[in-house]
Amino acid sequence: MVLAELAGRIGARVQGDSQRAVKGVGDLELLRVRDTQRRPDRDLIYYVESKKVLNENPVARECEVVLTTEALAANFQIALVVPDLEPRLAFIRLLEFFEAVPPAVHAPEPLLFVHPTAKVHESAVLGPGVVILGDAVVGAGCIIHANSVIEQNVQIGAGTVIHPHVVLKFGTRIGEQCIVHSGTVIGADGFGFYDKNNKRYKIPQIGNVEIGSHVEIGASVTIDRATIESTRVGNYTKLDDQVHIGHNCQVGEYVYIAGNTVLAGSVIVDDHVTMGGQSAISGRVRLAKGTFVMGLTGMAQSSEPGGMYFGIPARPAREMHKINNALGYLPTLLKRVAHLEEIAGVARAEEQRSPD
């Protein structure tokens, strides 16, 4: 691919040789941290987003072809140059161009089970081993990869991609243009039990799960069905790998949830909330709009709109950072207090206890 053609596809201008050919995209950061002796590949294009990236990666100046901004273009002889406010979008379009996803191929009929009452659009692609049970609906342009199970009364909107070994339990609803990665289970029973007189009762989970449109769900995610109505995930929300969403949760739109995060039952997550990895949200907590939960945080109380929280139990991030800084002084403070007690002749509490 020559730069002139590539520039037209991503909305850039060419600086230098417009007929220069490139074969792909190189990773500048990995070049720096993994192999300091290796030089940039002359057949790859490297992304230099900002002055900070340029300063942190001196080898960037040796790259023969880069994608960069107008403000940095003078540092390079050959470049695809984009406006200063839009480098990341151009980079996304560049990656999309070089993305090589194997085409989905419809499996032969003997390798599929599709119930007679299921409705599968003629443009949908089903991989080998796919099982689609009664009254399920698979929309136009959907791709259901190998060995996935679509149970009774599931509805999947147009253009949604279900990767291998996914299970959509009965009654699940998924909107349009979603992506569900391998190993995910949507609609398993919620964790509902009741103990009485030394007997443990299972509470029937008669609700379902409803997923909006343009949602991406990572690998090995679990989203439990509601006890009565619906566990919901809103439009454009993105879930990382190994996230768990408990029964009755209501997750809003444009939410980010990073890996290993756990939401207990009946959590409410308003729009535009971000949760860092390995966060834990207690049952019935509400995360208000715009809340940012830092990684390794345990939220036991509801948040304020736009608040940033950190720690276990969570506190506002600024307060928690002050507490953590103060902890560093404790050893010195203990020594000073012990010295003052010695001067004052004050015995410590453990020294005042009489022997047993």
Residue 38 to residues 53, 67, 68, 181, 237, Cα–Cα distance (Å):
18, 20, 22, 34, 39
> How do strand 315-316 and strand 308-310 relate by DSSP bridges?
antiparallel
CB 85: neighbour CB atoms within 10 A? 9
Extract the tokens encoding 275.
């949760």
Q: What is the DSSP letter of 60?
A: G
For the record, the structure tokens of 308 come out as 């940033």
Q: How far apart are CA 227 and CA 207, in angstroms?
A: 5
Gap between the Cα atoms of 301 and 44, Å rounded: 49
Close Cβ partners of 260 (under 8 Å, ≥ 6 residues apart): 241, 242, 243, 277, 278
Catalytic annotation, pick one of 165, 181, 214, 247: 247
Coil, strand or helix at 203: coil
Instruction: Report how far residue 288's alpha carbon sits from residue 159's, in angstroms, rounded to the nearest whole number.
Output: 31
Q: What's the start-to-end Cα distance of the chain, in Å?
A: 85
C-alpha closest to that of 124 among 110, 147, 111, 106:
106
* 247 catalytic residue (yes or no): yes
Place of tokens 């609906």: 137
Distance separating alpha carbons of residues 242 and 262, to the nearest angstrom: 9
Q: Which residues contact 53 (CB under 8 A, 6 or more apart)?
A: 28, 60
Residue 287: strand pairing partners: 269
For residues 174 and 213, the answer to whether their CB atoms sit within 8 Å is no
The residues annotated as belonging to the active site are 247
